[in-house]
Structure 1
């Protein structure tokens, strides 16, 4: 390979719950094509080391807000376009490598193990010789097939995911380093891969790396990575709100020496299993009503409450009205002078139209929510004063605030997560000076975490219910912690050496 290697970029990312009636459409992926892909990632911009050592070519990537199962026709349209764009590249020059930019927890109507299937299709275009490096969310899933189709693979080491860009850059750096290792003979020099499935499936709200035991578990990852002959080490917690056999924890270590990568993978997997009973929720928990009671009794302000069962960034529909219904029934918030509350948020496209027509300051009656998920509570009707209207949000498109008594409810045209102080400030709200802030979220993202004087995790119903047993998984492998509390024998955590991507994969049960 006398010239710079040609590396294509492709992938689709969406964390999808199979326990919500919501569906994810193609538009939610906000696809980027060609040069738009390079523009997204500063570490690939002109003048950077990675840009200098390889010829990066964007095919298509799409990152959707987590939600329900992806509509099959929309996925197939993206898949076809990715293959066509890659074929156009191959017609000009062979593709030496592919950065596979995915999440790892996407489900599509009528399909299984979607990320592995998409990569299988991609390999029919780029060929078996191309080296593939995947970057993933630690809440993704790594089946044996996905481990086989990739040559390098890594994931975030922090939850919340403050190392997202660092992880993606590492995936690209590992790829160019391997491609450059033996410029003329690298095709016979693929990394070895050790894979360990672990019978654990926990939500992120019990496995945040802010807290033990995940903090110590993930602190071991860079130590394994630093071992001689190791390229990368990674731990996937897996995605708890989908019901597929691939949904469970996984450890992978890649490198150049079988014994070394197996030893590293076994250390990580053994520690994970050793502490599996030590994982607990990252904050005090309670029913929604109990959280409100605690917030009213506390003097700490602002008091944050996570309405966790409908968290849109975990895959919830975002339009469950259970929490908001309970909140507005409370007599403590009937008057404007009562303790102030922000509730974020509830979608209602028709409600937004009424609010826009009336304008800021008007008194309106609207009905919102439960258009997608009405399993736990129906649409909610509210009469209040329009506090603010804002246009142009990437996800919500249009946002408004309706004040009902002392409760300021954010109403959106389309669902949106509220993770940043600016999300509130732009709507004329001040979360720092509000008594109680209720957000559809699981663990608090960094800005909200730093802002909260006190915080409780509300165990509310929805498509990402924290009470996993309440959801009804039927297809995950068993036994599986915490679904099964008794294991008649310790799990076999012997690392499996996965064949190279250009070799056949023996079909073994995970």
Structure 2
């Protein structure tokens, strides 16, 4: 007699992922999310794509996955449209055993305080109490108590920059598969959840340096303990003014005593060191950064234009830094070479393309979304290069003014890789100064830079949080409250999602 084959678990995949600065006038629309559906979703992750290590581990039911470059809040109607499509897809999917809830954790929706929590609750109402839901989030996401209770399994990145992003997404799936292999009554772990009242930009919490380096090193040690399934530190998202925004520690597992002890110990360690958090690189105003770069003999010298960083939620077209660069005599007369990446402006790109490579142009660029402190800037120079086909930028144009190459894009794009410059006819290794709209340097740029500084520039993701003017975050909160205070760092044990949470 042959045994019947074991039924594979049916696991849905759906979610919306974006960082949204509530201090940016930009908006993240349906088109910004570039929604993927069906087989397109499976192709985004090697582990569950055809031939991947987990391709045959489940019957995958991909619904909708929307992922946007960080930006401004999502208009309520755009959110509703995507949410309804996800819910409709889940209703049509039939019986499910599990779900991968693919989110970042820092999505803001106009008129809403906890967008991921809202979406999670709506998903739970559709799939029912028995479906186990797992997520792998960005450590700059936010974990409200509502989100922690509604989902069963939560984990997040352990590195900033996020070199472990794919590993984290895969870990969330492995956690889900492992729990689905248990009897139904044992599938849902307990969660020890602790909000820690600090709210800091990622540039002060990079795992390249202390104290985040050693604090995050504790996470896998805790995860390895008996009775623990996962441990996580969400630093939180600093550029949204919502009550949920702060650091959160959570330890997940089946042994309540162990997860309570470890969560409280980790939260206490973070709080004991909260005043140690500092910028990942020397930081100063732009003028001081440029002075240091000019005086240095290290080439290429990188400067982060951090206040309008599109990878943190900046609109990308604040022109304040470009205006200052065009005023620097060393760049204007070509004594130094520099590249600036980038300014999105579809109209300026159109004019440059019409003029053609080699043409002299005078175009107004930037400040179409975020007028900022400078407004549009007149850029006069030679069209040096035109590139077509980048999936984010669409069309890229390089205009040279003196010794400065300015990359103008049809659509907003972050510049993280050497190839981004090479594609535009720029060799960053032989350029004196590289000024890029970014916070901490991503790995390729970090490896390339002979030296670098973080410029504290204005924009929707200004590193000076006090200057931004948060009004709705929970208080007291470091660094907004300067008087010493002692927070409640006791663990709140959040019951399984199929049990009511009296404090939710």
TM-score, length basis structure 1: 0.96
Distance 1:417 1:380 in 2: 20
Write the deviation string for residues 14-35 of structure 1: whole angstroms up to 9, x where unpaired. 1000111111111111111111
- Alignment match of 1:324 (pick from 322, 325, 346): 322
- Specify the alignment match of 2:488 in structure 1: 492
Distance 2:341 2:56 in 1: 44
Measured after TM superposition, the shift of residue 112 of structure 1 is 1.9
User: For 2:214, what is the secondary structure of its paired residue?
Assistant: helix
Q: Which residue of 2 aligns with 1:503?
A: 499
- Say if 1:38 and 1:57, in contact at 8 Å, map to a contact too: no
Match of residue 148 from structure 2: 147
Q: What is the root-mean-square deviation of aligned Cα atoms in Å? A: 1.1
Aligned length: 500
Which whole-Å deviations, capped at 9, do the CAs of 1:219-245 have from their partners, x for residues lacking one? 000000000011110000000000001
Structure-2 separation of matches of 1:135 and 1:472:
30
Match of 2:23 in 1: 19
**1:291-325 Cα deviation digits (max 9, x unpaired):** 11111100000010000000000000000000000
Q: Is the 8 A contact 1:238 1:248 kept in 2?
A: yes
Distance in 1 separating the partners of 2:260 and 2:403:
58
* Contact 2:15–2:64, Cα closer than 8 Å, also in 1: yes
Structure 1: runs of 5+ lacking an equivalent: none
Instruction: Identify unmatched segments of 5+ residues in structure 2.
Output: none
Q: Is the 8 A contact 2:194 2:249 kept in 1?
A: yes
* Alignment map for 1:80-479 (pairs within 5 Å): 80-90=84-94, 94-182=95-183, 186-336=184-334, 338-479=335-476
Task: Give per-residue Cα distances to partners, 1:358-384, cap 9 Å, x unaligned.
Answer: 111111111110111113111001110
Deviation, 1:53, is 2.4
Deviation at 1:187, TM superposition (A): 4.2
Give how far 1:188 is off: 4.9
Work out the CA distance in 2 between the residues paired with 1:375 and 1:366. 19
Q: Which moved more, 1:136-145 or 1:79-88?
A: 79-88
Say if 2:180 and 2:187, in contact at 8 Å, map to a contact too.
no
Which residue matches 1:5? 9
Corresponding residue number in structure 2 for 1:53: 57
How far apart, in 2, do the equivalents of 1:189 and 1:285 lie? 47
SS in 2 for 1:67: coil
Q: Distance in 2 between matches of 1:103 and 1:376?
A: 30
The whole-number CA distance in structure 2 between the counterparts of 1:485 and 1:173 is 43
CA 1:49 to 1:386, structure 2 compared with 1: closer, same or farther past 3 Å?
A: closer
Give the Cα–Cα distance (whole angstroms) in 1 for the partners of residues 76 and 119 of structure 2: 13
TM-score relative to the length of structure 2: 0.98
Measured in 2, the distance between the counterparts of 1:272 and 1:127 equals 36
Equivalent residue of 2:47, what SS? helix
Cα distance between partner residues in 2 of 1:23 and 1:78: 15
* Residue 328 (structure 1) shift: 0.2
CA distance in 2, matches of 1:319, 1:309: 11
Q: How far apart, in 1, do the equivalents of 2:333 and 2:358 lie? A: 17
3-state SS of the aligned residue for 1:408? strand
SS where residue 262 of structure 1 aligns?
Answer: helix
For residues 147-187 of structure 1, the C-alpha deviation after alignment (integer angstroms, 9 at most, x for no partner) is 000100000000000000000000000000010023xxx24
> Any conservation in 1 of the 2:340–2:407 contact (CA below 8 Å)?
yes
SS where residue 458 of structure 2 aligns? coil
User: Cα distance, 1:335 vs. partner?
Assistant: 2.4
Q: Counterpart of 2:72 in 1: which secondary structure?
A: strand
Runs of 4+, deviation exceeding 6 Å: none
Identify which range, 71-80 or 220-229, moves more after superposition. Answer: 71-80
Deviation at 1:432, TM superposition (A): 0.6
CA spacing shift, 1:346–1:189, aligned 2, 3 Å: closer
